[in-house]
Amino acid sequence: MFLHQGNAPSNTLLAALPRADRARLVALAEPARLGLRDAVARRGEPFSHAYFPLTAFFSKVVPADRGSLEVGLVGFEGFLGFPLLLGVDLSPHDAIVQGGGDALRIPARAFRRELERSSPLRRLAGRYTHVVMTQLAQNVVCNRFHVVEQRLARWLLMSADRARSLNFAVTHAFLAMILGVRRVGVTQAAQALSDRGLIEYARGRMVIRDRRALQAVACPCYRIDLETYREGFRR
């Protein structure tokens, strides 16, 4: 499984830091228990904190005239607040908790100070920023050229990776919003996957029944996502 680290609640980026740098950063952090649909950042507003997810994960969502569109996911593989690395205080998007759970959060000012102090943190945060920007470009291609069923399969796999589970919460209404399609389109795509025994959906819970087959349905963007992370953090 993508970025699989077993069941231990950890953050890949924090774990990659040298021990002393990691200890200083964690000492600045406070634990945060985040609920489904909590907003941890708002577009155009200053970041209050940088978030390092442990078991939670976030949807980065951009509001638009006809609704909203998801432009990325952030889970235990990275952190929320990369514009702070670039000297930007304002969030370019909303960040909504898509998977409830735990995270570490660090006040934005303290995080910026630590970025100035720690070259390993700057290097890893810079690599992650490159990954995020590459994925953002890939999302543009995906939304333009791939059909709803492919995009839905990709998103389910990406969410399962960050949830570290094949069973997670999601609604058809939320899927329609993040994929930028009508709800009926999501319902039809999900039904097609269900009819083939790939997924099961009931009462706001999604269960992936056949991960290998779902990967075969997903557009090539999912494989490119994996390769982007592996190349971005290869030593």
For position 56, what pLDDT does the model report? 96
What's the topology of domain 147-227?
A: Arc Repressor Mutant, subunit A (1.10.10)
For position 1, what pLDDT does the model report? 42
Going from the C-alpha of 141 to that of each of 37, 53, 190, the distances in angstroms are 27, 27, 22
Segments of the chain assigned to CATH 2.60.120.10 = 12-143
For position 7, what pLDDT does the model report? 43
List CB contacts of 33: < 8 A, sequence separation 6 or more.
Answer: 101, 102
Candidates 1.50.10.10, 1.10.10.10, 2.70.98.30, 2.60.120.10; CATH matching 12-143: 2.60.120.10
Classified as helix, coil or strand, 191 is helix
Quote the pTM value: 0.91
The conformation of residue 173, written as its DSSP 8-state character, comes to H
For position 5, what pLDDT does the model report? 44
Segments of the chain assigned to CATH 1.10.10.10 = 147-227
For position 6, what pLDDT does the model report? 43
For position 9, what pLDDT does the model report? 59
The stretches in the chain having pLDDT less than 50 are: 1-8
Going from the C-alpha of 227 to that of each of 3, 71, 206, 224, the distances in angstroms are 11, 18, 26, 5
